[in-house]
Amino acid sequence: NYEYSIDDGFSYFSNSVFNGLSSDSYSIKVRRTNTQCVFDYLADIILSAPEAPHIISVAITQPGCGNETGTIVCQVDKDNVEYSLDNSGLWQANNLFTGLMAGNYVIKIRNSDGSCVSTYPDTILLKSEVAINILNINVTENTDCTLPNGRIVIETNISEVMYSIDN
């Protein structure tokens, strides 16, 4: 019978399987039960964890101005990453989400092997803009040859609009 150690012989166990280990270096020793006959494995075993990806920036294009859908583009700090929106369970290799209706979106990323899921801390809001309709244009002609006193009044369906008459 044998006993097994992964901490350089500090403690021994009858089971040769060690589960739930964190990223670290492990010095392996095996000994015969109730003896001092110890076999040292020649090299330490190093367990390492994958590196989690992080979202560096998010660019959005809001729906509106003739386009009913928006887009979200993520920039991350490493390659081989997958992206998902709203806990859908659907993952994609492309960092671009298109055809998005107005609403709130939660972005998740992970390594392409499925490890290390990260959630972007901010919820992304795509806002639907109300289409601007010109309801009426009232024109008052100049009444004086030397004094510019003409007038154009534009009426729209919303009040928060900027106007231009010169492009």
C-beta atoms surrounding 136 within 10 Å = 8
- As a residue count, the chain comes to 167
Residue 131: per-residue pLDDT: 67
pLDDT digits (tens, 9 = 90+) for 42-95: 999 999 988 999 999 999 998 876 778 899 999 999 999 999 998 788 999 999
Give mean pLDDT, residues 143-167: 78
Token pair 């006959």: residue: 37
Of 2-6, 86-90, 162-166, highest mean pLDDT = 2-6
Q: 103-105 and 55-61: which strand pairing?
A: unpaired
Residue 161, pLDDT above cutoff 80: no
pLDDT digits (tens, 9 = 90+) for 94-144: 999 999 998 999 999 999 999 999 999 999 999 877 667 788 888 888 888
pLDDT band at 167 (very low <50, low <70, confident <90, very high): low
Give mean pLDDT, residues 4-12: 95
Distance CA 34, CA 11 (A): 13
Return the half-sphere exposure (C-beta side, CA atoms, 13 A cut-off) of residue 64.
12
Q: Phi and psi dihedrals of 159, rounded to 5?
A: -95, -25
Q: Radius of gyration over alpha carbons of the chain, in Å?
A: 33
pTM above 0.95, yes or no: no
Closest CA to 109 of 51, 55, 49, 50: 55
Residue 2, pLDDT above cutoff 90: yes
Residue 31: per-residue pLDDT: 94
Residue 26: per-residue pLDDT: 97
Residue 121: per-residue pLDDT: 93
Residue 144: per-residue pLDDT: 82
Classify 66 in phi/psi space as left (phi over 0), alpha (psi -120 to 50) or beta.
Answer: left
Residue type at 47 in one-letter notation: L
